[in-house]
Chain A
Amino acid sequence: MTTTLQLTDVRKTYSSGHLEVEALRGITMSVDEGEYVAVMGPSGSGKSTLMHILGCLDVPTGGTYELAGTDVSRMTEAELAEVRNRRIGFVFQGFNLLPSMPAWRNVELPLVYAGVHRDERRRRAIAALEKVGLGDRVAHRPGELSGGQQQRVAVARALVTDPALILADEPTGNLDSRSSADVLALFAELHESGRTVMLITHEPEVAAAAQRVVRIRDGLIDQRVAA
């Protein structure tokens, strides 16, 4: 199996003014292609920071992150944009939907930047919404949808480009147990279809669905349980 993600001694220090916060203090880990990994850890331990680096939304202040063998710190802004667009589907902790646009327009957004033709975009966006069980809600705006439905729109947006890597930051955090189950079923399905799936969760039953659990504490991998 080829290694899709390789983190080597990754550090991230946030500095606001003279205040410095070490969110990640040397993470070394790898995730193989097609793996289903759950990331757990207390609040403020650096899980979101790690996810953002993996998703090329942020850059580490130390160490290296290689994505399919390429050091992302060597990539230009435009190349990173393309990686985010073509290879990664990110499900944010908040839903991050544009409130003025109907569900299908939110879902087609990555395809706009991928240069896909308009009709094709609409077709694929609706197909993705059908896949998450929202075929009858394509024209609804986020405000007209429940939390679980909004999260499913966000998942549809993450998979519409058919990316190899799906990253999700607490995708069930704001959901009731039924919606949670729906969303988790979706990730299981994505994993079965061969994608690499990585998600952050607090809930043990969510983590149980994954092949592997990585525990983070104070910006470090918790060695007591790490495999």
Chain B
Amino acid sequence: MNLVETFRTALEAIRSHRLRSTLTMLGILIGIAAVILTVGLGQGAQVQVREEISKLGSNLLIVQPGSATSTTGVRGGRGSSSTLTVEDAEALQSKEVAPDVKRVAAVSSTSTSLTAGTTNWTTTVNGTTPDWEQVRARSLSAGRFIAQADVDDARPVVVLGADTVAELFTRGQAVGQTVTINGSTFTVIGVLKAIGSSSDTSDDDLAVVPRTTYAARVSTGGLRLSVSTIYLEAQSQGALSAAYQEANALLLTRHGVAAASADFSITSQQSLLKTATSTDQTLTILLGGVAGISLLVGGIGVMNIMLVSVTERVREIGLRKALGATPSAVRRQFLVEASSLGATGGLLGLGLGVVGALVLPHWLDQPVTISPLAAVGAVVVALAIGITAGVYPAGRAARLAPIDALRND
């Protein structure tokens, strides 16, 4: 009996037990759809996190005062009293000492109130240099960013975040208007393009002024030379760890401390990414495991049904053997039957998964990504489950003696 005949016979058997076949396939279908959706949710979340983090700037290292590992209480916590200075930032710009650092942007920031006409809005005011724009991977929707001349002359100019503009200027162009910060009048020279961050500390609600202007007019007290964060852009993705080493060594030397008692910490977006994705991966593996178990249960269902089918069709199998079916022809017939159930369930499950991937994001506010690999994999797995579940029942059918099957009583 050739393969076409085997398939025809198997499909006929499946069709003649329509309800039972449907219920069997349902087990596989639900299992496959569940696996596809959980994996898709996990992958979607990873893509989201990756996008989120890459918005921070490419190849970015973030230097912050204080030590993340400090337990002594001698030094303040991160950012409480800054140990980083403008000189640190300038030293990091040296191409001799830190060749893998491309750009440096030191930021001093404070939360303060901005006034435009009669409108008040409290936001973070950052004092920095022109490099901030590239280092943070930002662009402008209107006007221009701070220029070196603005820094040199300590001009009273400000660049505002999109949300800040929306709060302060309900109508008309922001660029060219003035805002009052700490009693000084600033001219708005540019508006940053929104990046739509989902984090609480919005990257779209902020004001940026030249570092020198910040020191002269915004900040109070003697901390004029201290900065709250130094952003470093590495020459490339590959240079990230070299840049990290250089910056770390330089700052340790400048601060005269050993690595163990460093008064600053450097984090990379890469490490953020790793933490975030590994958390998501754990969740994906966990959910995927649960879905996998449901798939296993579906596979056991196929096996159970195939065994029932063999028992129920003892007469038919015996008759076929009496009429000349070889053991291998019988085995093949049941294997094809089981794998057809598996593969059909898998294909339908894939269909349900795709529909779910299209529908779910509307309710969950989570992207679901179905890769072609996952789709093909799911169907292959379903087929493999069908075959595996069919092996034992098919073997039993093949071993049946024709006469045991045909006895009349």
Q: What residues of chain A have their CB less than 8 Å away from a CB belonging to chain B?
A: 52, 55, 57-58, 77-78, 81-82, 84-86, 90, 92-94, 96, 98, 100, 109-110, 112-115, 157, 161
B327 engages A84 (CB within 8 Å):
no
Closest to B323 in A: A110
Report the minimum CB–CB distance from A124 to chain B (whole Å). Answer: 14
B326 engages A81 (CB within 8 Å):
yes
Chain B contacts for A86, CB-based, 8 A: 324
Chain A contacts for B401, CB-based, 8 A: 58
Q: How large is the interface on B (under 10, 10 to 19, 20 to 34, 35 or more residues)?
A: 20 to 34
Residue B328 is within 8 A (CB to CB) of chain A in the complex: yes
Interface residues of B in 303-343 (CB under 8 A from A): 315-316, 319-329
Identify A112's interface contact among B5, B315, B322, CB under 8 A: B5
Identify B1's interface contact among A52, A77, A115, CB under 8 A: A115
A180 to B56 CA separation, bound complex (whole angstroms)? 93
A84 engages B316 (CB within 8 Å):
no
Identify B321's interface contact among A81, A93, A112, A115, CB under 8 A: A81
Identify B326's interface contact among A77, A93, A96, A100, CB under 8 A: A77
B402 engages A57 (CB within 8 Å):
yes
B327 engages A113 (CB within 8 Å):
no
| 21 A-B residue pairs with CB within 8 Å | A77-B327, A78-B326, A78-B327, A81-B327, A81-B329, A82-B326, A84-B323, A84-B324, A84-B402, A90-B322, A96-B322, A109-B320, A109-B323, A112-B1, A113-B320, A113-B323, A113-B326, A114-B324, A115-B1, A157-B323, A161-B324
Closest to A97 in B: B319
B403 engages A58 (CB within 8 Å):
yes
Chain A contacts for B329, CB-based, 8 A: 81, 113
Residue B80 is within 8 A (CB to CB) of chain A in the complex: no
Report the minimum CB–CB distance from B251 to chain A (whole Å). Answer: 80
Chain A contacts for B1, CB-based, 8 A: 112-113, 115
A81 engages B315 (CB within 8 Å):
no
B325 engages A81 (CB within 8 Å):
yes
Chain A contacts for B323, CB-based, 8 A: 84-85, 109-110, 113, 157
Closest to B404 in A: A58
A161 to B16 CA separation, bound complex (whole angstroms)? 27
A93 to B5 CA separation, bound complex (whole angstroms)? 28
Residue B271 is within 8 A (CB to CB) of chain A in the complex: no
B319 engages A82 (CB within 8 Å):
no
Interface residues of B in 1-19 (CB under 8 A from A): 1-2, 5, 9, 16
Chain B contacts for A55, CB-based, 8 A: 322
A57 to B9 CA separation, bound complex (whole angstroms)? 23
Residue B408 is within 8 A (CB to CB) of chain A in the complex: yes
